[in-house]
């Protein structure tokens, strides 16, 4: 009986040791059970020029891998390695075999990976990844159909172009100053239209349409604008204490960081930092280009203020002095118009209100989208009669002039913005300019497209 009990204890001990050993093995990193991770797209568009990038990762380390490509009739191993020192991460570049063709423009990539784990009867964990490859070596079909003859520094222009590719990924208008302009669908499939702008702060202008497909093929088309330079006014403004301690202090009091500033530091904050924040809001709102197909773009000359007289120019480079010392500078990015106090501001063209709120130095400011990335804004209003989301028709009263924001007298600051760039309002107030540079370009382009 005693020997039997002893045997039971020994059996239990052995069972416990076996269980502990099994648990230790089960939880050991050497027996981890996670398969290697293979990072590569399920569908690959390949121009045969740039290598295919593949990333392999594993917790314990990659022991071996094999990469095979199949063109529909022929299979070829293009990379295979057994690593003496397993690695946790491998970044591979797969180039096309020089002796392999792809007659149907299709292929399949097979990636097999094994880690160094002792799991699975010491064979390790395996991963198998299949990816479809679409061979595409052709550039997008891209060319300019028609464009405005000229663009003026600080002004706008129009371009219409053809862009088509069965694997088209993106297209845009690239400029020499880093801004990309976007286009909207135009008239018929494969055609696009865009407004572009030449910022007054840039001495040169160059615009190129760029099209990319999913395989990385790239096409470019230069837009042949005739460039018209234009000199803008500069102004020297002497700051008065009454202005600094009045309007400027009033605008600054909403910002706690200005409380310890002297009047000049406070002015620099308002004229530079606050202005930058307010203009950034405008730029962000105005970057959107509606994607409804454009067949025509009928714009009346803007005339927002009846009997309004110009009191300040667009593009005026203002230098501010205090007691003879230059303390700050800024560009005036709109056209100031004045008539009677709290005069009605009228919408000259239909559109959608995209902003209607207080905007720092611009005061109460409704902003309207007229389509194709063209926006107008109306600053310093005393009262506003439209809200964000409203649709406005031509002739609708949208606000009254005032003196909200960084301003002394009652007037309207009228701004025109093209895809986030402020442009000369005078162009869009000129019926002849609109006809020659916008409407005629569109109508002539439609005739060219119909003739093909």
Has residue 436 been placed in a domain?
no
What pLDDT sits at residue 21?
45
Q: Are residues 83 and 53 in the same domain?
A: yes
CB-based contacts of 175, cutoff 8 Å, min separation 6: 181, 196, 205, 206, 207, 208
- Please report, for residues 11, 29, 90, 271, the alpha-carbon distance to residue 19 in angstroms, rounded to integers and kept in the order given: 12, 17, 37, 76
| 137 in Cβ contact with 217 (< 8 Å) | yes
Whether residue 264 is found in the same domain as residue 393: yes
In total, the chain counts a number of residues equal to 452
What is the reported pLDDT for 25?
46
How does pLDDT run along the chain (452 residues), one tens digit per residue?
555 565 555 555 555 544 544 444 445 566 788 899 999 999 999 998 889 999 999 988 889 999 999 988 888 998 999 998 999 999 999 887 767 888 888 999 999 999 888 787 667 899 999 999 999 999 999 999 999 999 999 999 999 999 999 999 999 999 999 999 999 999 999 999 999 999 999 999 999 999 999 999 999 999 999 999 999 999 999 999 999 999 999 999 989 999 999 999 999 999 999 999 999 999 999 999 999 999 999 999 999 999 999 999 999 999 999 999 999 999 999 999 999 999 999 999 999 999 999 999 999 999 999 999 999 999 999 999 999 999 999 999 999 999 999 998 999 999 999 999 999 999 999 999 999 999 999 999 999 999 98
Q: Is residue 24 part of a domain?
A: no
- Residue 331, phi then psi, degrees to nearest 5: -95, 140
Take residue 351 and report the two structure tokens written for it. 């559109």
2, part of any domain: no
CB within 8 A of 272, min separation 6: which ones? 328, 330
pLDDT score, position 336: 96
Regarding whether 361 and 222 lie in a shared domain, the answer is: no
Task: Note whether 264 and 186 are same-domain residues.
Answer: no
Is 164 part of a structural domain of the chain? yes
Long-range contacts for 94-100 (Cβ within 8 Å, ≥24 apart)?
Answer: 94/51, 94/52, 94/53, 94/54, 94/67, 95/51, 96/46, 96/48, 97/69, 100/69, 100/71, 100/74, 100/76
Residue 428 lies in a domain: no
Predicted pLDDT of residue 418: 98
Token representation of residue 302:
């803007």
- pLDDT tens-digit map of 399-412: 999 999 999 899 99
Q: Are residues 88 and 200 in the same domain?
A: no
Return the bridge partners of 109, or none.
69, 131
Whether 14 is in a domain gets the answer no
Task: Report the SS3 class of residue 336.
Answer: strand
Same domain for 145 and 73, yes or no, is no
List all residues 6 or more positions away from 447 whose beta carbon is below 8 Å from its beta carbon: none
Residues of the domain holding 118: 30-135
Distances (CA, A) of 298 to 294, 365, 431, 443: 11, 25, 11, 11
């Amino acid at each position: 009986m005693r020997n039997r009990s002893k045997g039971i204890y020994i059996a239990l001990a052995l069972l416990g040791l076996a269980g502990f050993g099994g648990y230790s093995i089960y939880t050991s990193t050497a027996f981890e059970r996670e398969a290697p991770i293979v990072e590569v797209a399920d569908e690959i568009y390949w121009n045969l020029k740039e290598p295919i990038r593949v990333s392999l990762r594993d917790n314990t380390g990659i022991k071996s891998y094999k990469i095979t490509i199949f063109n529909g009739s022929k299979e070829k191993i293009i990379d295979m390695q057994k690593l003496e020192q397993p690695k946790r991460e491998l970044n591979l570049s797969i180039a096309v075999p020089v002796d392999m063709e792809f007659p149907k423009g299709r292929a399949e990539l097979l990636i097999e990976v094994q880690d160094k784990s002792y799991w699975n009867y010491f064979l390790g964990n395996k991963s198998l990844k299949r990816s479809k490859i679409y061979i595409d070596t052709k550039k997008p079909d891209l060319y300019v159909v028609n464009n405005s003859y000229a663009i003026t520094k600080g002004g706008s222009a129009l371009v219409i172009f053809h862009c088509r590719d069965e694997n088209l990924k993106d297209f845009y208008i690239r400029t020499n100053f880093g801004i990309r302009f976007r286009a909207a669908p135009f008239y018929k499939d494969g055609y696009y239209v865009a407004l572009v702008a030449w910022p007054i702060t840039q001495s040169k202008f160059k615009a190129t349409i760029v099209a990319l497909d999913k395989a990385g093929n790239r096409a470019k088309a230069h837009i042949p604008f005739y460039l018209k330079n234009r000199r803008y006014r500069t102004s020297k403004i002497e700051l008065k204490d009454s202005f600094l301690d009045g309007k400027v202090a009033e605008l600054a009091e909403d910002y706690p960081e200005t409380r310890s500033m002297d009047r000049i530091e406070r002015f620099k904050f308002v004229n530079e930092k606050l202005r930058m924040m307010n203009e950034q809001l405008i730029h962000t709102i105005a970057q959107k280009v509606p994607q409804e197909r454009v067949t025509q773009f009928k714009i009346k000359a803007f005339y927002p203020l009846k009997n309004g007289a110009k009191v300040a120019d667009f593009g005026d480079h203002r230098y501010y002095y205090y007691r003879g010392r230059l303390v700050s500078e800024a560009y005036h990015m709109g056209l100031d118009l004045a008539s009677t106090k709290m005069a009605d501001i009228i919408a000259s063209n239909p559109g959608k209100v995209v902003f209607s709120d207080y905007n720092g130095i611009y005061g109460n400011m409704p902003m309207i989208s007229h389509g194709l990335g063209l926006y107008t804004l109306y600053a310093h209003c005393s009262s506003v009669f439209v809200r964000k989301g409203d649709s406005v028709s031509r002739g609708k009263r949208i606000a009254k002039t005032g003196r909200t924001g960084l301003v002394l007298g009652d007037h309207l600051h009228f701004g025109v913005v093209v895809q986030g760039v402020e442009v000369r309002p005078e162009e869009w107030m000129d019926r002849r300019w609109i006809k020659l540079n916008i409407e005629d370009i569109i109508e002539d382009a439609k005739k060219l497209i119909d003739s093909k």
